[in-house]
A and B are shown apart, each in its own frame.
Chain A
Amino acid sequence: MIQEKFYYDNKIVKLFALATILWAIVGMLVGLWAAAELAYPSWNLNLSWLTFGRLRPLHTNAIIFAFTGNAIFTGAYYSVQRLLKARMFSDLLSKINFWGWQFIIVLAAVTLPLGITTGKEYAELEWIIDILIAVVWVAFGWNLIGTMIKRRVQHIYVAIWFFLASFVAVAVLHIGNSIEIPVNFLKSYTVYAGVQDAVVQWWYGHNAVAFFLTTPFLGLMYYFLPKAANRPIYSYRLSIIHFLSLIFIYMWAGPHHLLYQALPDWAQTLGVVFSIMLIAPSWGGMINGLLTLRGAWDKVRDSAILKFFVVAVTAYGMSTFEGPMLSIKTVNALSHFTDWTIAHVHIGGMGWNGFMAFGMLYWLIPKLFNTKLHSEKSANLHFWIATLGMLAYSLPLYWAAFTQTLMWKEFTDAGYLAYPEFLDTVTQIMPMYVTRVIGGTLYFTGAIIMIPNLIKTMKSGHIIENEEASAPPREKIAKKRLAGETPHRWVERKAVHFTVWVLIAVIIGGLVEIIPMITVKSNIPTIEAVKPYTPLELEGRDIYVREGCYTCHSQMVRPFRSETERYGEYSKQGEFVYDHPFQWGSKRTGPDLARSGYRGGKMFRPAVWHYEHFKDPQKFIEGSIMPAYPWFFENDLDYSSLKRKINVMQMLGVPYPEGYADRAEADLKKQAEEIATELKNAGKDIAWNKELIAMIAYLHKLGKDISLATESKKSDGDNSTTNISLSDKPEDLQAGAEIFKSTCASCHGINGQGVVGPNLGDNFTIHGSEPENIYKVIANGAGIMTGYKSQFEKTKLIQLTSYVHSLIGTNPENGKDPEGKEIK
């Protein structure tokens, strides 16, 4: 047979391997620091870019996309060439893949700490980086499929099926989830709103786990495990069955991240059942891996590499059993928002992804450098210390999760929350937060031990950057299915067909769930009282996103008595229609904030409370682990993009009146000044244009519309504004004066002389001087003045009306100039 000579590109594999090691260290270090901040909040050193909310996205992105991403490319670039008996399709694409990916990582490492983020978990990078990711990812796919087309072997091996599915699915997910409209170079709003955004985001988020952390690693397993064990794959048929079922079913399971949340029941059900159906397809991979070691278990005892692989595959099996269990609603009711999720993903991340990557590096580096591993002993030490670290990390978090969720849900015999103070449930688990840092440190130490071992290995050998190989050219056989050829065997030799089938398999689940959510109106019942964000609230919301508040606070009260008793009314789908992006969060390190603008509710805190709390949480609330935000007090609010923001929101269907963008700035200032005045009255001097003011405005918006809707419903029937009979009893006037002093004086002056609002003591009126007119304005508001009917019962409103009416003609000192008509 004729042999064709060609060269494997080993240089690109080496580069990816070095990048894997570098980003592993960086990603873990950031994770360690973030974990330490939960135990010791002062570790943020009062630096904005070092605060938990900004480090956490950096940690997740660095581990997922930098560390495991480079590990995938390392393994794929090594194995694809050898499995297909061909050099990569294009050296240029390989280089674009490598340098482009590293460039993206550096951009992420700069932008995320700066708070440049979309606020969507694992998709935090802003639009301009999203475009780069798409380009580089397509370069990878192009290179992969190109190599498949010019391969010398007839059939494509299972490892490459998994790489291919990963490429196709991640491309679809990334592009689908990142459709956003730029506000400026560094800021964009997602086109999806509220519930839709949640569904799209978790379709993406869940399948980033599936197609970035699972399928490519199965690809690595199918190559490196049989290589290291020198054993045949246990079952070719199992490979086919679990590959097809896995990629098809995975895409449906996203809604299990949103169980018991403001999501239609049908979507939740799909999330539950498809997660349960994932157990066997996932275990197919584990079984095929473990049974491949049949007859090689004696080697496992001695080889650190195989030990890494065995624990990795076992951790994969554990995670993929635990995941479906957490998707059962009863279990999810307990586990969600707690550290259970964190423990679960770290079994997957540290165990499956980390150990696969370490095992692969220990096998690959000696092969690349034509030498032996410098120290098997050191690799074994790495294995044991990392295993111990993984346990010391995750077991305390499981313990913390059980403890905290039971405390959240415990009621006393009399029917009250046993731990009404959220902080008590945090203080209880602090020892676990300390232990988890120790576990993380051990795991990190293992990785540090690996570095000199690998460097010495590299130094002891010599890499052949272009390794010579030879293989016969691919034999041309009929395009049609041959007699006796199974359909799967047939597509295994047809690269393009295979790609198309994979695309169809992965796309169905997402389409079935997302399209009805966007097109069928009944899925998101609207609530009339819910109003768009005011310009100041919108700017505040952007700061909330920037600071990564969603990494610790949810905005989603689930329909459980234990939550409605703690936070207030449960969250409804219609509340989020103007949320680009949604900010429901997935972890409650602090309490839920969905009702923090619900006046008179359990979660409402006055402006001055927020002032003190942002300034120094620990001084204010002993034992709190909330970081301080001193820069809110120093930074001027940057509302330079406000006009564009309003325009973008209008494009996305938010009903601001036409031309509102031009008036937005004035409204922003007005509202900011009101809050600054409120703070000033409480003895806190702060300029209206500081970021703090916008944050307070936003926090006071959350749940506010719902509170108004419920209150006005409650007082229906007692809500007529006609036939108001005033009282002239001194005690009523006195009561009215008290309300006036506490509520109205900040705008109308202590004697009604007028400040921001008009003079009430002169003989002029804007809205009329009859009792009905005054009552109506007080109850419903007028112009910039808010209505107070939701805050006071009718008798109190009448007392207030009586008092205001009595002010007419008192002509207080320093009166504001008259406005409106003269009273005859």
Chain B
Amino acid sequence: MENNNKDPKEIFEGYNEKFDKNLITDHDYDGIKELDNPPPPWLMWLFYLTVFWSLGYVAYFHWFKQGPLQAEEYENEIAEAEKKYKDTKTGAFEIILLNDETSLAAGAATYAKSCTACHGQNGKGGIGVNLVDEEWIYGSDIKNVFDVIKNGTSKGMASFNSLPDKQILEVASFVLTELKK
């Protein structure tokens, strides 16, 4: 029902709901009244916009199959990375024993961080094998050690191929030379 009450004192006392043009006079719930204001138009437009956006999203990915779905997106990412890092990561890389001080120091740092938990600070082993004795299960060549670090072993050593090859080579070189000293 429309509110036809006229507020004689409005100008003196400011807002008074009783005289609000929009008051729905027959809505009263334990004293709570309601107004008949329309929802803010911007809010309604926001709603329509999200509905259209959603339809567009579904159309783009599923009806017209324009965008890549999850598996394809991953393949794209990998392909892109392979292209981008071709030279640095999958390119030719010479595995030779490093003996310059910087590399060995870097190798020592990596060793301290990633290897000591299993092989011990001085390489005497623990969970992992002893690295300072003369026994080499997988060979003592720099290539063997590099391979073990990079790819892990079936016996339980984890693969560290998330480290750059250079860093693996540094730590392998460190293990083969400095660690014993």
- Whether the Cβ atoms of A742 and B137 lie closer than 8 Å is yes
Min CB gap B42→A, angstroms: 10
For the complex, is A265 an interface residue (Cβ under 8 Å from B)?
yes
Min CB gap A290→B, angstroms: 11
Please indicate the chain A residues that have their CB under 8 angstroms from the CB of B51 in the complex: 277
Please tell me which stretch of A452-460, A594-602, A816-824 contacts chain B, meaning at least 4 of its Cβ atoms lie within 8 angstroms of it. A594-602
A239: nearest chain-B partner, CB-CB: B34
For the complex, is A235 an interface residue (Cβ under 8 Å from B)?
yes
Min CB gap A152→B, angstroms: 11
For the complex, is B64 an interface residue (Cβ under 8 Å from A)?
no
Please indicate the chain A residues that have their CB under 8 angstroms from the CB of B29 in the complex: 83, 153, 155, 157, 159
Within 8 A of A (CB), among B66-88: 69-71, 73-74, 77-78, 81, 84-85, 88
In angstroms, Cα B61 to Cα A415, docked, is 29
Within 8 A of B (CB), among A693-728: none
- Whether the Cβ atoms of B54 and A601 lie closer than 8 Å is no
For the complex, is A47 an interface residue (Cβ under 8 Å from B)?
no
Min CB gap A6→B, angstroms: 14
For the complex, is A810 an interface residue (Cβ under 8 Å from B)?
no
What total of chain A residues lie within 8 Å of the partner, measured CB to CB? 80
- Whether the Cβ atoms of B74 and A620 lie closer than 8 Å is no
For the complex, is A791 an interface residue (Cβ under 8 Å from B)?
yes
Interface string of B12-51 (1 = CB under 8 A from A): 0011010010011001011111111111100110110011
In angstroms, Cα B44 to Cα A284, docked, is 9
- Whether the Cβ atoms of A604 and B17 lie closer than 8 Å is no
Please indicate the chain A residues that have their CB under 8 angstroms from the CB of B109 in the complex: none
**B53, B155, B158 pick with most chain A CB within 10 angstroms:** B158
Please tell me which stretch of A9-17, A126-134, A374-382, A606-614 contacts chain B, meaning at least 4 of its Cβ atoms lie within 8 angstroms of it. A606-614
- Whether the Cβ atoms of B85 and A281 lie closer than 8 Å is no
Point out the residue from B62, B127, B156, B159 that lies within 8 Å of A266, measured CB to CB: B62
**A600, A608, A620 pick with most chain B CB within 10 angstroms:** A600
For the complex, is B96 an interface residue (Cβ under 8 Å from A)?
no
- Whether the Cβ atoms of B162 and A236 lie closer than 8 Å is no
**B43, B78, B81, B84 pick with most chain A CB within 10 angstroms:** B43
Please indicate the chain B residues that have their CB under 8 angstroms from the CB of A600 in the complex: 151-154, 157-159
In angstroms, Cα B73 to Cα A560, docked, is 9
Given contacts A266-B62, A559-B71, contact A276 B54 (CB under 8 A): yes
In angstroms, Cα B82 to Cα A534, docked, is 39
In angstroms, Cα B160 to Cα A792, docked, is 18
Please indicate the chain B residues that have their CB under 8 angstroms from the CB of A233 in the complex: 32-35
- Whether the Cβ atoms of A284 and B23 lie closer than 8 Å is no
Please indicate the chain A residues that have their CB under 8 angstroms from the CB of B30 in the complex: 79, 82-83, 85, 157, 223
In angstroms, Cα B84 to Cα A222, docked, is 57
Min CB gap A144→B, angstroms: 16
Point out the residue from B27, B58, B85, B167 that lies within 8 Å of A236, measured CB to CB: B27
- Whether the Cβ atoms of A280 and B50 lie closer than 8 Å is yes
- Whether the Cβ atoms of B158 and A605 lie closer than 8 Å is yes
For the complex, is A767 an interface residue (Cβ under 8 Å from B)?
no
A791: nearest chain-B partner, CB-CB: B154
- Whether the Cβ atoms of A284 and B39 lie closer than 8 Å is yes
Point out the residue from A231, A415, A790 that lies within 8 Å of B88, measured CB to CB: A415
- Whether the Cβ atoms of A416 and B70 lie closer than 8 Å is no
Please indicate the chain A residues that have their CB under 8 angstroms from the CB of B74 in the complex: 559-561, 564, 570
Min CB gap B127→A, angstroms: 5
Please indicate the chain B residues that have their CB under 8 angstroms from the CB of A791 in the complex: 154
Please indicate the chain A residues that have their CB under 8 angstroms from the CB of B163 in the complex: 416, 420
- Whether the Cβ atoms of B81 and A415 lie closer than 8 Å is yes
Point out the residue from A79, A295, A603 that lies within 8 Å of B15, measured CB to CB: A295
Please indicate the chain A residues that have their CB under 8 angstroms from the CB of B127 in the complex: 606, 608-609, 612, 682
Please tell me which stretch of A267-275, A383-391, A473-481 contacts chain B, meaning at least 4 of its Cβ atoms lie within 8 angstroms of it. A267-275
Interface string of A138-165 (1 = CB under 8 A from B): 0000000000000001010101000000
Within 8 A of A (CB), among B157-176: 157-164, 166-167
For the complex, is A680 an interface residue (Cβ under 8 Å from B)?
no
For the complex, is A237 an interface residue (Cβ under 8 Å from B)?
yes
For the complex, is A743 an interface residue (Cβ under 8 Å from B)?
yes
In angstroms, Cα B56 to Cα A277, docked, is 13
- Whether the Cβ atoms of B71 and A416 lie closer than 8 Å is no
In angstroms, Cα B128 to Cα A742, docked, is 12
- Whether the Cβ atoms of A237 and B47 lie closer than 8 Å is no
For the complex, is A370 an interface residue (Cβ under 8 Å from B)?
no
Please indicate the chain B residues that have their CB under 8 angstroms from the CB of A226 in the complex: 32-33
In angstroms, Cα B126 to Cα A238, docked, is 69
- Whether the Cβ atoms of A273 and B162 lie closer than 8 Å is no
Min CB gap B45→A, angstroms: 9
For the complex, is B118 an interface residue (Cβ under 8 Å from A)?
yes
- Whether the Cβ atoms of A283 and B152 lie closer than 8 Å is no
Given contacts A277-B54, A414-B85, A606-B156, contact A236 B62 (CB under 8 A): no
- Whether the Cβ atoms of A241 and B39 lie closer than 8 Å is yes
Point out the residue from A85, A273, A280, A295 that lies within 8 Å of B14, measured CB to CB: A295
Given contacts A235-B37, A738-B137, contact A415 B89 (CB under 8 A): yes
Given contacts A227-B32, A232-B32, contact A415 B84 (CB under 8 A): yes
B154: nearest chain-A partner, CB-CB: A791
**B35, B36, B54 pick with most chain A CB within 10 angstroms:** B35
- Whether the Cβ atoms of B47 and A277 lie closer than 8 Å is yes
In angstroms, Cα B32 to Cα A232, docked, is 6
A277: nearest chain-B partner, CB-CB: B50
Given contacts A237-B37, A287-B40, A295-B14, contact A416 B89 (CB under 8 A): yes
Within 8 A of B (CB), among A407-421: 412-417, 420-421
For the complex, is A245 an interface residue (Cβ under 8 Å from B)?
yes
For the complex, is A634 an interface residue (Cβ under 8 Å from B)?
no
Please indicate the chain B residues that have their CB under 8 angstroms from the CB of A235 in the complex: 34-39
Please indicate the chain B residues that have their CB under 8 angstroms from the CB of A265 in the complex: 61-62, 69-70
- Whether the Cβ atoms of A237 and B23 lie closer than 8 Å is no
- Whether the Cβ atoms of B43 and A792 lie closer than 8 Å is no
For the complex, is A7 an interface residue (Cβ under 8 Å from B)?
no
B48: nearest chain-A partner, CB-CB: A280
Please indicate the chain A residues that have their CB under 8 angstroms from the CB of B31 in the complex: 227
Please indicate the chain B residues that have their CB under 8 angstroms from the CB of A421 in the complex: 113-114
Interface string of A575-611 (1 = CB under 8 A from B): 0000000000000000000000001111111111100
In angstroms, Cα B28 to Cα A416, docked, is 67
For the complex, is A566 an interface residue (Cβ under 8 Å from B)?
yes
For the complex, is A498 an interface residue (Cβ under 8 Å from B)?
no
Given contacts A157-B29, A235-B39, contact A273 B153 (CB under 8 A): no
Please indicate the chain B residues that have their CB under 8 angstroms from the CB of A232 in the complex: 17, 20, 23, 32-35
For the complex, is B117 an interface residue (Cβ under 8 Å from A)?
yes
Point out the residue from A236, A280, A599, A606 that lies within 8 Å of B24, measured CB to CB: A236
- Whether the Cβ atoms of A412 and B15 lie closer than 8 Å is no
B16: nearest chain-A partner, CB-CB: A295
- Whether the Cβ atoms of A414 and B153 lie closer than 8 Å is no
- Whether the Cβ atoms of B70 and A273 lie closer than 8 Å is no
Please indicate the chain A residues that have their CB under 8 angstroms from the CB of B153 in the complex: 600
In angstroms, Cα B162 to Cα A79, docked, is 60
| Chain A residues in the interface with B (C-beta under 8 A) | 79, 82-83, 85, 153, 155, 157, 159, 222-223, 226-227, 231-239, 241-242, 245, 260, 265-266, 268-269, 272-274, 276-277, 279-281, 283-284, 287, 291, 294-295, 412-417, 420-421, 559-561, 564-566, 570, 599-609, 612, 620-621, 682, 738, 742-743, 788, 790-792
Q: List 29 A-B contacts (CB under 8 A).
A: A226-B32, A232-B23, A232-B35, A234-B37, A236-B34, A237-B37, A238-B39, A268-B70, A269-B57, A269-B58, A274-B54, A276-B50, A276-B57, A277-B51, A279-B46, A280-B43, A281-B47, A287-B43, A295-B17, A415-B85, A416-B162, A416-B163, A564-B74, A599-B156, A601-B158, A606-B155, A606-B156, A609-B118, A738-B137
Closest 5 A/B residue pairs (Cβ): A415-B85, A606-B156, A791-B154, A280-B47, A273-B54
A83-B30, A235-B35, A606-B155 given; 12 more Cβ-contact pairs under 8 Å: A233-B32, A235-B34, A236-B24, A236-B27, A241-B39, A269-B57, A277-B50, A277-B51, A291-B37, A416-B162, A600-B151, A609-B118
